[in-house]
Structure formats: structure tokens, C-alpha cells
A and B are shown apart, each in its own frame.
Chain A
Amino acid sequence: MEAIVVKELSVGYDERVVIEKLGLSILKGKINVIIGANGCGKSTLLKSIARVIKPQSGAVYINGKDITKQKEKAMAKQIAFLPQEPICPVGLTVRELVAYGRFPYQKSFGGLSKHDKEMIDWAIEETELQEFAHRKLDTLSQGQRQRVWIAMTIAQETDIIMLDEPTTYLDLSYQQEILQLLSKLNQTAGFTVVMVLHELNNACKYGDNIIGLKNGKLICEGSPCEAITKENLSELYGIDATLQISENKQYPICLDYEVTKKVALVG
């Protein structure tokens, strides 16, 4: 089942074309990981799906419906997006920030409903932030802050959550913590996860469906074992990679690599 279908999508900034006639599917109930070199159009793809950028041509369907034919609020109840560098209004506590996830459900006047409060509590519990709920966001560590943003994203009560590089700027243990959290949310709460990751081994370990992009075009798509091959990595990043299968034989691990051609710098 597809949660999102992208058809013949072309996106660009002024003259520069970033994505050209791209077609791909995001699988429902799975963790979909988008990989690719810098500037390959990963973030642009997420922003187009989230309607932040208007595509030049082509279409995006979420749950079978064209995104341009729906109201903003209706869309916000189907898909939540955590951008790469979110801005937090000054002086908010964790709970206040998470409460913003309920905005699509609120009337322009009045407080939070009982259901809103339940969803906020649930989001804070799922992300294990109970003890920080009344702390100011700027008193938290990077990893904790990222968990708060994820709590706000899931409080939006959507089937699909999109995250743009959720582990960038985090150290190794925090990276695993965030990815384990997303994996748990996927398995227990049934979220369809779409995210951009830079770390190949994390992508393989946590991803069910890998999407490899280069210069705005689809290079590979499929399970980690299908998509992450020596040939595809050479095509995607211009590297000669040494791969090995994981102990549980579920996904490939990249042990080492050498740069062969400087494709990444040209793209």
C-alpha cells in the first residue's frame, strides 16, 4: 500500500531544476528513508510533499488524493513535517510547544479540548519527556530537544510523519535514541515514517524502504538489501564501498569506502 505517490514531479528554484520528472512511492506503515548526496533534491522532495514549495509540474498524492486539491488544515491532519532546522518561539515550555501540534484541530478561539490534552500527554509519554514537560525548551540538550520536536510532530495525530535529517548534529548515542524512538512509533503506533538520513548504516538498519536520489532523479528504490548495492552506491555517491551483511542477515553494512569519482561535488 502506498501512503504517498509522487508522479512526474518537477521542482526548481527559478531557472535551476532540482527535481526532474520524479516518480516514486512511499509505503504505508513502513519506515521510508531517502538517501543521496548533498544537493540531490532530498529536502526539496520533502518540502514539495509538505506543500512548502510549489512544484513546476507533476503531482503528489497523499492517501490517494492530490495535495493541491485539499484545504491546508485537511492536509495538516494527514501529514506532519519536522523540518531540518525548526525555529522555537522564545520562552516556551516543552508542553506548550507540543501543544502547537494540535493547531490543525483547534478553532481560532478557545483553549485545548479534552482530546487535545490527551494527545499532548500521549505524545509526551511516547517520547519519554514526562519529567521535562514543564521545563523551558532552551534548558534541554540537543537530543532532548529533538525528542520534543518529534513529540510535537506526533501530537498532530497524522498517519504520516516526515522528518528532514532528524539525526544531524546529534552524537552517536542520541542518533540511535532518536531512530529507535521513530522505529518504536512506526511499530507500535503504526506511523508511516518518511525521513532523510545521511548516515548510510542507520538508513539500512532502520529503513524498510530505501529511496536513493541523485540530481533529482530516482536511482534505486526497495528494501535495504535490494537498494544498497555496490553499483547503486557508486552511482549515488561516487564511492567504491565495501559491504557486508548484518549478523541477523537483514540489511547490508557499509564497512569502508573510497571516493572514486567526484560526482557529489558536481551535483
Chain B
Amino acid sequence: MKEIRIQKIVILLVIFFIVSAAVYLSWGSYQISFADIFLTFIGRGNTFQETALLNLRLPRMIVAICVGVALATSGGIIQTITKNELADPGIIGINAGAAVAAILVVSSQTIYYYHQLGSFSIYLLPFSAIIGAAVSAGIIYFLSSHKGIKPKKMILVGLGINAGLSAFMTFFIFRGGVGEYNRVLIWTSGSLWGTGWEYAKILLPLVCVLFGLVLLNYKKLDVLQFSDEHITSLGLNRNNERKKLLTYAVVLAGGATAFAGNVGFIGLISPNIAKKLVGGSHKHTLLVSALISAIIMLCADAVSRNLFSPIEIPVGIIISIFGVPYFMYLIIKEN
């Protein structure tokens, strides 16, 4: 009964996903019909279609999907471990840490800015963002664990660190010039502008491997929803498991943030919608929340690319516009 309902939901979501992917590839300043998309994929499209589709839209679509899956999975893990459905990757300091590292790189780079646009520069920002994310996650972990992780303390410490890092960020933006300010602003708002195969080639394997690893741990995640006493009594080493799963969450969210900037709210809303649709077992919620997140990312990025074309609005802003009302709804319902 329940299994059949879940199957129906998954099938429906897969259809949605395929439709949004098709619309994503077709919609743009250069329109490509669905038939042409198919023809181009089997190598029978014209040069324009090939360029637009294979070199621009397809890699960007892969990055968008990967970012969505990574943030949803990371958010799901963090919500389970902190036992708080309002937690998201921002809580473990990933966004702020990555943003600060990115700002430091951007502002120290100004001298070389124009003559160093090789492949090194493409990777420098994401790479330093991952390090920034890891450092701030490490600090939060260190401060909130005394003889094992305390989930509640982690949320409070996370909020504190986030506030501190945001202040630091604002300070640097004030000091920097207009050029850097814009670049940083686009990055911190979360944008897929300019992503190509270079990013997709790194992000796709990273997200596939980690998503697989997390899925392998679905039963442990289920058990981690119980109280500390129960987790231990059921034979799970709660500290080791929490550490391991938090590491997966940091790498997933850090990787996504590094390439797409601060895409807010998606890590919060996707797992919550999934829980509403298919219930509490991670076997279903991880998969469904990844699908939902991918669909949201595709729709939001399609809108952000095209709505005010030729100006692109960061995808994070589109998601926030829809995410904020949902967030409010959750908080009001909570009381």
C-alpha cells in the first residue's frame, strides 16, 4: 500500500525531472525544439545547436543537477544528525566559510586579475572555497564536541560562526572596489553563470560517489534519528557514525558551494518536502529529496537564465524567492 504510493511518487518525479531537463535544454535566447535536441544528441544537429546544447547547456545542466543533489543530500544528513528539520548546510558553516575564502582569494588576486585567466584561475576559486568550507566546518565541529558531538550545541555554535563570518564578509566587501564587489556578490548569491565542462567533469564524479556512499548508510541514518541512548543500545557507535556522515555532508555541500556559490534554502526545503511526501525512512527520502532538488535547480536556473535575458539573475535568488515563504510556513507550523 505504502510502497505503491511511494513508487507512484517516484515515477511522477522522474517524469517531472525529464520534462524540466528537456525544457531546460530547449529554452534560451537560442530556442531549440525537443526534436532538434534529440537529433543533436545523436549527432545530426547543426553547428549552432551543437554549440548551444553540448558546450553550454548540457554541462551547465549537469552542474545544476549535481549542485541540487549535493545540497539536498547534505541538508538531509544535517537535519537527521542535529534532529532539527530547520537545519541546512549553512548550519555547519559551509556557505560562510566558503564565501570568506572566496572573498580573500578575489581580493588578493586583483593585481593579476586580467592576465591570469588560465585554467588555474578556473579552479582556484572553487578549490579555496572547499578549503574554507572545511576549515569552518572543522571549527564548528571542534567547538561543539566535547566527548562526542552534541547536536543542539552544534546548531548554536554554527549560528554564531555564521554570524561572525558574515560580518567579516561585509567588511571585505566594503573595503573592496566595485569590480570585486560584483564578482563576490554574484558568487555569494549562488550562480551557475559561466559553468562549463571543466566544472561538470569534477562535480559529477564527486557527487555520484558521495551520494552512493550516503545511500549505503541509509539504515544508519534512520537509527541516528533516535535518542543517543537508543542509538548506542541498537549497536551503533554514534560518534563515529556522526563524524563520518558529517564529513560526507561537508564535502557534498562544500563541493556544490565551491562551484555554484551560496545557493540557499534548497538544502533546507528539499529534504523537508521529501519527508512530507514519502515519510521518515532515508531509503526513500534521500532519493526523493535529490530528485526534488534537481527539479527545483533546473526550473530555477532556467528562469534565472531567461526571465530577464540577456541579464542573468543568480539562481540562488530565484530559489530564495520561493524558499523564503516555504521556510516561514515551516516555522509557523512548528509552533
Contacts and interface: CB of A to CB of B under 8 A. Distances in A.
Interface in B225-257: 225-230, 232-237
B223 interface: yes
Interface in A216-250: none
B216 interface: yes
B36 interface: no
Given A87-B225, A89-B225, A92-B280, A81 B235 contact: no
Contacts of B147: 54
A47 interface: yes
B153 to A, nearest CB: 15
A80 B234 CA distance: 7
A179 interface: no
A72 B222 contact: no
A91 B2 CA distance: 12
Contacts of B235: 72-77, 103-104
B219 A108 contact: yes
Interface in B248-293: 275, 279-281
A248 to B, nearest CB: 35
A50 interface: yes
A136 B38 CA distance: 47
B233 A50 contact: yes
B226 A89 contact: yes
Contacts of B236: 72, 103
A87 B216 CA distance: 24
Contacts of A164: 229
B231 to A, nearest CB: 9
A86 B220 contact: no
A50 B231 CA distance: 10
Interface centre among B220, B222, B228, B232 (most CB of A within 10 A): B232
A109 interface: yes
Contacts of A75: 235
B216 A108 contact: yes
Contact of B226 (A54, A87, A96): A87
A81 B230 contact: yes
A79 B230 CA distance: 12
A73 B281 CA distance: 21
Contact of B227 (A79, A86, A91): A86
A156 B280 contact: no
A104 B225 contact: no
Contacts of A91: 275, 279-280
B220 A108 contact: yes
Nearest to B226: A87
Which of the listed residues B147, B227, B230, B237 has the most CB atoms from chain A within 10 Å of its own CB? B230
A109 B280 contact: no
Contacts of B229: 47, 50, 52, 81, 83, 86, 164
A51 interface: yes
Contacts of A104: 234-235
Q: Which of A74, A101, A109 has the most chain B CB atoms inside 10 A of its CB?
A: A109
Contacts of A96: 281
B217 interface: yes
A90 interface: yes
B83 interface: yes
A106 interface: yes
Contacts of A108: 216-217, 219-220
A100 interface: yes
B275 A86 contact: no
17 contacts: A52-B228, A52-B229, A72-B232, A72-B236, A74-B235, A79-B233, A83-B233, A86-B227, A89-B226, A96-B281, A100-B223, A103-B219, A104-B235, A108-B217, A108-B219, A109-B219, A156-B234
Interface of B: 83, 147, 216-217, 219-220, 222-223, 225-230, 232-237, 275, 279-281
Interface of A: 47, 50-52, 54, 72-77, 79-81, 83, 85-92, 96, 100-101, 103-104, 106, 108-109, 156, 164
Given A81-B233, A91-B275, 11 more contacts: A47-B229, A50-B233, A52-B228, A72-B235, A72-B236, A74-B235, A87-B83, A87-B225, A89-B280, A100-B222, A104-B234
Closest 5 CB pairs of A and B: A76-B235, A83-B229, A81-B233, A89-B225, A73-B235
